[in-house]
Structure formats: structure tokens, C-alpha cells
Amino acid sequence: MKQVYLDNAATTALRPEVIERITEVLRNNFGNASSTHSFGRSSKALLEQCRKNIASYFNVSASEIVFTSGGTEADNLALRSAVRDLGVTEIITSRIEHHAVLHTAEQLQSEYGVKLSFVNLDSCGLIDYNHLEALLTSADKAVVSLMHINNEIGNILDVEHVGELCQNHDALFHTDAVQSIGHYKIDLHAIRIDFLAASAHKFHGPKGVGFCYIRKESGLKPLIFGGEQERGYRAGTEAIHNIVGMDEALKIAYTNLDDEKAYVSELKTYFIQQLKKHIPGVCFNGGCEDQGNSTYTLVNVWLPIAPEKAPMLQFQLDLKGIACSKGSACQSGSNQQSHVLSAILDEEQLNQPSVRFSFSIFNTKDELDYVVDVLKDFVSS
């Protein structure tokens, strides 16, 4: 049976070079980076070199990069400290954020009584910037938390514009950039972003590691207490092999960005064309058909399938060796509809299946042809 992996928004395969680099570090640099002997110093040197390397991709100081276990921890670190330590009384976000942000915001509302406000969206799920400015105008001390690229429908946020709005209204700006880091360049010196979350496994790096960008002199305080690792921001022995793997994956991603972006963009365009050609009535959720407003790495497809057949679609795709998802991987196993699609689709549309297909450099047009054939057979059967 053919195996086709099109769930790269959930996680990506490690690049062979990353596996080799991680293995090398596991073998030769196993010392604790906090130890003062030669083994520890060797690990510490690697750790700080990775920090400098990663900071250089975003035009910031190495001291502004804090290593975490991934995007969820980075989101929690920024939002919880903003409310607990920085005097924030209102969180402004959207209803289509990742649950790492939404559930954290809801918990902070419960714990601290902060006001939770949601910016309006258009029918494609794009942010209403005029409404965002209105919310900021009426806010006392706010943090805006809006993701750079939506993980389900691929919408791209104008982070530069949001940063300007936040700066003009003395608000903090946090962005979950898990879906964009490694796929887009972001100059954090030029754009007014206070906190940014990233995760290595979204750009062919290892799971269990990411980073939080924390702008200098932000006043942010730790989420995890213990030792003095990460300059006190994040206690716990650093996983040097994972951090080095993340650095290697990011280096390759940005070195090859133009060529790989062109290749994956072509896959997305081709896939959309073939779906339209072979499946009459197919639609694309959010702005994912428009590569000007949507990432080149995914499409969210609405299929004209009878509601009684809809529950079988995912099962049939899996039987045919096709890996994709109906939404965020973090919701797998849940019977609930995607909260992102629920915010932009009507009830009739929600009764028919939507599937997210997300691409990487390891995919081919032949694989996409196979997927289209399987979908065409299922729709017409």
C-alpha cells in the first residue's frame, strides 16, 4: 500500500542531517551544561552557540532567546507572566487561536479575573484590524495574542501592522509563530513583537524543544522555578541534543528557504488545481486558496460529501495510507468539531467533512495525484 504523509502541520519528519547531528551530540556531548568540568563546559559552549545562531536568524540578541520544551510552554510563559507580573488586565485574542493560547487565556481569566476579548473575524477567518484597534483603544493594560499563521486554515497575520497598533496603544504583543518559524523570515528587531513562541518539530527538527523570544527588559518572570538555567527564565537541565537538533534544522531551513518554499508552493498550487479539476464542488476553508493571505504549507479542503458518509472519510484515507487531519493534532480523538472551522463555517458546512492537508519538501506530485484519486473515488461512490 502507498504511504503518503500530508500532516506536516502536526509534525514533520526529521531531516537526515538533523538525526546525524543529534546522534553525534548524544555520543560526545552528554555533559550537564551547568557543570563546571570539561564535559559540562563542552555542552555549555554548544548551548550558547546554538542560542547565538538562532538569535541571528531573527536579528535579535542571544539573551532574548529562551529554550523551552516547545510552543505550548513558550505560550504559557509569555501569557501567564504578562498577567501575573506585568500588570496586564486584558487579553485580546481571537477565537481561532491554538488551544495553547485559548485555554491559557481562559485559565488566566479564571485565576486572575482578567478581561478576555476576542477580535472580530471576516468570513475567511482574517483578523479585523479596525476592531483590534478599537479594542486596544478601550483597553487599560493589554496583551494581544494572535498567531502568525493559523495552524488549521493557514491564514497569515500582518504581524508588522499588529505590532504597530500595540506599540501605539502601549500594549504587549505575543504571537504563536509555531507554524511560521522555519518557513518565513521574521525580523524581530524591525517588528514590534514582545514575545514569540516556536517549536522545532514543525520545521524538521526534534520534538520536545522550542524557544520563546522575550524582548529585552520586558520584565517577564519565570514559569518554571528551580535552577538558574536559561538565565532563570526556565529552570531544568537543558536537552543539549534537542537544542542542537533544532539549531541544525533551522539552519538548513533558512539556508534553503527560497528553493524549498518555491517547491512546496508549487505542490500546493498543483494540489488545488487537481482537486478543482476532479472533484466538482470542492471548496477551500479560510483564505488557504489565496497564497497571498495564506501559508504555502497547507490547505484546508471542504468536500461535497453526504453527511452520512462524512464520518468514514478519515478512516478511508487512513486505510489507503494517507496521513492528514481534520484539524489540530492536539484535538485528535476528540468528537468535537474544530473550533477554528466552527468560527467561520455555518452549520450546514460543518456537517460535511473538511480535511487539512499539509506539505513538506519530502512530498511529490505523484503522491498528490494518488490522494486526489482516492478522494475522487470516495466522493463519487
List the catalytic residues: 330
Measure the CA–CA gap between 287 and 56, rounded to whole angstroms.
Answer: 31
**334: its cell numbers:** 476528540
CB neighbour list of residue 352: distance below 8 Å, 6 or more residues apart: 302, 303, 304, 305, 306, 307, 310
Helix axes of 257-278 and 365-380: crossing angle, nearest 10 degrees: 20
- How far does the chain reach from its first CA to its final CA, in angstroms? 21
**45: its cell numbers:** 559552549
